[in-house]
Amino acid sequence: MPPDSVFRSGGRVVFNFTPPAKFLRASAPRLEISIAPDGLTTIKCLEGEICARWITRQPLTLNPNNLMRQWLSKFKTIKPLLRKRHAAPEKPTTTTTTTTTTTTTSTMQPEWFNASLTSTVSALRNTETVVPAPPTAPVLVFPPYDFTFSSHGPNVLLVIPTANADKTRILTSAFASRLPAGAALHPLTVPASSNVGEQPYNEAGPEGAHNRIANALRTLADSPEQRAVLAQHAIGTVMAASIENYIQEGAGGDGGPVDYGFVLIHNASSGRTASAVSRGTTVPRAYYEYARSLGTDGGDDYGRVTAGEVLTANVPGLDKANWHTVVADVSRYDLLTEAINGLEIPW
């Protein structure tokens, strides 16, 4: 069972691995196994769920294949966790007596449930505000690559390092509407890790967008099958675009947290880069504080659980990725579209 890919990023060794379905008794999720310099090993499923952690007993100077074998040795322990997350939901049980029939269902609370935070959509509606974007966006530099992308024609390859359908739609639409004359656009989804946890805070937001692009371009460069796309579609320019929402602490008018969207566009053919930050939405403070209390994943600003996950666990009916529509009467994706449309694409 070799890994799909192995690479180093930010001091970590990262594997992408798809276990055979027979191990899970269900459809096999794609896994990311990330080993940090301190030995903390994290396994994430494709949708970002953390399945398991442990501390490795070997230094990272070992060959990545040896580390992969070490992970496989843990697989028997991890399988039950994966099966639990990916098994088909259990059917309600029915108990019949001589006088009544009672149907019982599980009363298990959702993960990240906190009784003190339970609320309703109507109670949270329009309780937060939209705030202006920061006056300047962080400028991030990509170091010279040890690989190049040859030109095969006039067309543009847009590398999108996420499987999020809404982000893909926004980015594809923005590029398609502003293509250079005579060029065609070919979007390519290359899911890549941000390496900043599920909930980035402060500078970790821009860092995560940068990491996604760097990791996706490395995957593209290392894959003969994906590089073949360049010639097949007459690609002359390779672009990569990433979106990372993050919470800026202390940015609200009352010193509270604000959720911003950071947009980063990088021309891998010319080296030019552009970035923007969307207008922000203040975050309900109690839910932010609880998300913060649930720990980090490798860095002080690499949050383990998103504020959206905490909100949806305690407020039935909220969308964990777009809770903004309820609390501030604005779609997160409208704010991102606004930021991208105001950004000059570095053709």
pLDDT tens track, the chain, 347 positions? 555 555 555 555 666 656 555 444 444 455 666 665 555 556 665 444 444 444 343 444 445 455 555 555 544 444 444 444 444 444 444 444 444 444 444 456 678 888 889 999 999 999 999 999 999 999 899 988 888 899 999 999 999 999 999 999 999 999 999 999 999 999 999 999 999 999 999 999 999 999 999 999 999 999 888 888 999 999 999 999 999 999 999 998 889 999 999 999 999 999 999 999 999 999 999 999 999 999 999 899 999 999 999 999 999 999 999 999 999 999 999 999 999 999 999 99
> Which pLDDT does position 3 carry in this prediction?
58
Predicted local distance difference test score (pLDDT) of residue 226: 83
| 12-17, strands of its sheet edge to edge | 5-9, 12-17, 31-35, 40-45, 50-55
Main-chain dihedrals φ then ψ at residue 167, nearest 5 degrees: -65, -40
Which residues have C-beta within 8 Å of that of residue 265, sequence separation ≥ 6?
239, 240, 241, 273, 274, 275, 343, 345, 346
CA-CA distance, 295 to 297, in Å (whole number)?
7
Domains of the chain: which residue ranges? 5-86, 116-341
Tell the residue number behind the tokens 């896994």, with chain if given.
31
Contact in structure between 342 and 288 (CB atoms under 8 Å): no
Amino acid at 282: T
- At 181 the pLDDT is 95
Domain 116-341 has CATH 3.90.960.10: no
Cβ atoms of residues 205 and 212 within 8 Å: no
* pLDDT at residue number 53: 42
Per-residue model confidence (pLDDT) at position 227: 85
